[in-house]
């Protein structure tokens, strides 16, 4: 079902998370750049991206293949975990659930709401952390069932250490694994409901120690355990209103989509509740309380456990820690396991034995069809954003991203229209103006483009590319001195981008600040040893300084990278200036061969060939 999307492009956050992420470009230097121990930066997740990049660069096939494989592994582990916890069920209804492991795994594997988590490459964090979560929990359940675990030293050490390692790997993937100790405690309570608290205390201490250490470490590093450094919205949105909004999101969006996964939306348009009096969150709360009451008073222990799983695991993203997106489907990947188990339990309880198989087959076929249909929406950027724009027509960001998708395919009129819609919905957003500036730049309307990029900066954009393009437009307008501060600011933000240093060098070269130009071009070659233009421009600078031997060396190095016409032309001109006409001739012939209409090169060749016939005195 997901293999139809193995060639789907990078989308949205994939650009900065993968395509433009300098920390995953060199696997051999990953430990120095990131460090696997640096779990606050999701080092484990970054390592998987670095491995993908080392194998296939930016070919999306490998990234999708890993995501699909992880999803299948989650399904397999879920099957075995469900098999292990069946013994918790009430003996009177336990026989009905012998097929529950298979039913739950299949529902989770083909539930359409999981398409985003699997197909959107940046969402790998949700799938990978779920795998670590389930493996940890599965091993703990297995460990509890080994009678001689305190006698057998190998068992006594292997299981706890492996669980700890998996927990740490989960922290290095996505922080939502912090809820695992709570799930473990709930499991122990369900497993031994009559056990006194005093006997639980040693186990509770051992279980919560890793979590306490992590939270203390996070507090020392950040000064606040409730702020997410990479998401500025963590401190810009009122926590109380966000919490009330999440009550609405969990019940009215996530729960509904898990049971009825139709009309799925990459960017659902959900607004912050207006206050405590807002009826939407109140209605959602009352609905949630009613469902909770029904689950509490029914007999199935596993259904209660599934409900607790969903409730606990949704807390990190749907409580008091504000995130930029109020709702997104990949966040329900881990909590959805509890809901999918609930669906499986209800299905097996209400279906007669004879009808179970045909009803299950029909149910899975419907889910499978919806999953394939949803997966196809991810096959191109334009398709996913057109679909999203239809479902969230009043969300400015959606129209901006649709315009960006059009722009990448050179559909400029459609892109311009989308950007205008986006700016009309949210006039103070700099993003549509940035993109309209790109359209002006493609049309070589340098002054209009400069105005757009400058407006984006005034509206608060601090992205490196905006400073860069503001500088570039000034360079195009022959204002190199004005462009330099913008290039320097872009470099300050993203020092690893060769193009920023290259254009800075071009600005210095136009100002005849040759030493600074050489320094900028050499920095480009440090970042990208195959950057032909920088190597060629080093030769041009030496030429301007009348250092022709150094210029020749630089041009030859550039020619060794790629035989561009410009480099052949530069070498021909250099040799003519040095009166080494015989060396100029082959380069001029190459220029003519590659650009037959180049009259200047033909005239120079004729002159040089005539000079060659004149005997030396």
Residue spans of the domains in the chain: they are 3-376
Report residue 149's pLDDT band, with 50, 70 and 90 as the boundaries.
Answer: low
Residue range 291-307: average pLDDT?
89
DSSP per residue, 244-270: HHHHHHIIIIIIHHHHS--S--SS---
Calculate the CA 507 to chain-centre distance.
Answer: 34
Type and span of the H or E element at 600:
helix 599-613
State both tokens at 292: 């909770």
Does residue 104 surpass a pLDDT of 90?
yes
pLDDT of residue 617: 47
Residue 175 CB contacts under 8 Å (≥ 6 apart), including other chains: 316
- Let me know if 528 is exposed, middle or buried by CB neighbors in 10 A (0-12, 13-18, 19+): middle
Residue range 117-125: average pLDDT?
92
pLDDT (tens digit per residue) in 366-420: 988 999 989 999 988 999 999 999 999 999 999 999 999 999 999 999 999 999 9
Residue 86 CB contacts under 8 Å (≥ 6 apart), including other chains: 94, 97, 98, 100, 101, 302
Residue 454 CA to residue 466 CA, distance in Å, equals 8
pLDDT (tens digit per residue) in 491-547: 999 998 999 999 999 999 999 999 999 999 999 999 988 898 999 899 989 988 889
- Determine the angle formed by the axes of helices 153-171 and 197-222, rounding to 10 degrees: 40
Does residue 162 surpass a pLDDT of 60?
yes
pLDDT (tens digit per residue) in 318-358: 877 778 888 899 999 999 999 999 988 888 877 665 666 77
State both tokens at 319: 């409580």
Report residue 455's pLDDT band, with 50, 70 and 90 as the boundaries.
Answer: very high
Residue 566 CB contacts under 8 Å (≥ 6 apart), including other chains: 536
Most confident stretch, 30-34, 101-105, 197-201: 101-105
| Contact (Cβ atoms closer than 8 angstroms) between residue 574 and residue 543 | yes
What is the residue-averaged pLDDT of the chain? 87
* Cα maximum dimension of the chain: 115
Report residue 137's pLDDT band, with 50, 70 and 90 as the boundaries.
Answer: very high
Does residue 148 surpass a pLDDT of 60?
no
State both tokens at 407: 């722009």
Neighbours of 492 (CB within 10 A): 11
pLDDT of residue 4: 73
pLDDT of residue 287: 92
Residue 421 CA to residue 387 CA, distance in Å, equals 16
Residue 500 CA to residue 489 CA, distance in Å, equals 10
pLDDT of residue 417: 95
Residue range 39-60: average pLDDT?
88
Instruction: Give CA separation, 567 vs 170, 218, 372, 541, in Å.
Output: 52, 54, 51, 14
Residue range 38-61: average pLDDT?
87
- Please identify which residue in the block is written with the tokens 């009826």: 279
* pTM, rounded to two decimals: 0.81
Does residue 232 surpass a pLDDT of 60?
no
- Determine the angle formed by the axes of helices 279-297 and 239-249, rounding to 10 degrees: 60
Q: Which of 65-69, 209-213, 290-294, 301-305 has the lowest mean pLDDT?
A: 209-213
Residue 370 CA to residue 110 CA, distance in Å, equals 9
Residue 105 CA to residue 76 CA, distance in Å, equals 7
Neighbours of 555 (CB within 10 A): 28
């Amino acid at each position: 079902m997901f293999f139809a999307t193995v060639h789907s492009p990078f989308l949205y956050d994939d650009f900065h998370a993968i395509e433009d992420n300098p920390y995953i470009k060199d696997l051999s230097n990953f430990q120095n750049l990131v460090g696997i121990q640096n779990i606050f930066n999701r080092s484990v997740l970054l390592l998987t991206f670095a491995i993908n990049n080392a194998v296939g660069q930016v070919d999306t096939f490998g990234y999708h293949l890993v995501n699909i494989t992880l999803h299948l592994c989650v399904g397999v582990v879920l099957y075995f975990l469900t098999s292990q916890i069946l013994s918790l069920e009430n003996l009177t209804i336990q026989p009905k659930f012998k097929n529950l492991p298979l039913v739950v795994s299949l529902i989770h594997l083909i539930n359409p709401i999981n398409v985003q988590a699997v197909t959107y490459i940046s969402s790998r964090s949700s799938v990978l952390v779920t795998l670590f979560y389930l493996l940890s929990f599965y091993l703990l359940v297995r460990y509890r069932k080994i009678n001689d675990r305190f006698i057998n030293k190998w068992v006594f050490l292997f299981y706890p250490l492996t669980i700890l390692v998996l927990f740490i790997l989960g922290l290095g993937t996505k922080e939502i694994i912090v809820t695992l100790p709570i799930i473990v405690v709930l499991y122990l309570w369900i497993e031994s409901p009559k056990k006194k608290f005093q006997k639980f205390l040693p186990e509770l201490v051992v279980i919560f120690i890793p979590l306490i250490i992590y939270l203390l470490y996070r507090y020392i590093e950040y000064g606040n355990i409730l702020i997410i450094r990479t998401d500025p919205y963590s401190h810009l949105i009122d926590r109380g209103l966000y919490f009330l909004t999440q009550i609405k999101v969990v019940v009215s969006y996530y729960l509904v989509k898990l049971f009825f996964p139709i009309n799925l939306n990459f960017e659902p348009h959900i607004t912050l509740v207006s206050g405590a009096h807002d009826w939407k969150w109140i209605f959602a709360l009352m609905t949630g309380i009613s469902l909770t009451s029904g689950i509490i008073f029914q007999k199935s222990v596993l259904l209660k456990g599934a409900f607790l799983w969903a409730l606990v695991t949704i807390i990190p993203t749907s409580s008091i820690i504000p995130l930029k997106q109020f709702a997104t489907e990949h966040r329900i990947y881990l909590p959805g396991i509890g809901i999918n188990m609930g669906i499986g339990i209800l299905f097996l309880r209400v279906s007669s034995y004879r009808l179970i198989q045909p009803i299950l087959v029909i149910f899975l076929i419907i889910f499978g069809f919806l999953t394939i249909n949803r997966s196809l929406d991810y096959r191109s950027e334009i398709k996913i954003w057109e679909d999203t724009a239809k479902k969230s027509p009043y969300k400015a960001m959606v129209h901006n991203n649709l315009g960006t998708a059009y722009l990448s395919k050179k559909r400029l009129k459609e892109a311009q229209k989308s950007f205008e819609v986006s700016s009309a919905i949210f006039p103070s957003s700099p993003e549509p103006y940035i993109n309209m500036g790109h359209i002006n730049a493609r049309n070589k309307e340098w002054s209009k483009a400069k105005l757009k990029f400058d407006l984006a900066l005034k509206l608060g954009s601090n992205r490196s590319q905006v400073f860069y393009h503001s500088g570039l437009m000034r360079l195009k307008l022959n204002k190199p001195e004005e462009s330099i501060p913008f290039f320097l600011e872009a470099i300050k933000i993203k020092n690893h981008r060769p193009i920023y240093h290259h254009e800075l060098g071009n600005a210095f070269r136009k100002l005849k600040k040759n030493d600074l130009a050489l320094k900028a071009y050499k920095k480009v070659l440090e970042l990208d040893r195959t950057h032909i233009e920088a190597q060629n421009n080093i030769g041009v600078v030496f030429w301007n300084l009348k250092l022709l031997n150094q210029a020749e060396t630089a041009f030859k190095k550039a020619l060794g990278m790629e035989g561009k016409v410009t480099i052949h032309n530069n070498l021909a001109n250099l040799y003519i200036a040095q009166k080494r006409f015989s060396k100029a001739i082959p380069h001029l012939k190459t220029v003519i061969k590659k650009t037959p209409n180049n009259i200047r090169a033909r005239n120079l060749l004729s002159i040089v060939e005539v000079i060659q016939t004149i005997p030396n005195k």
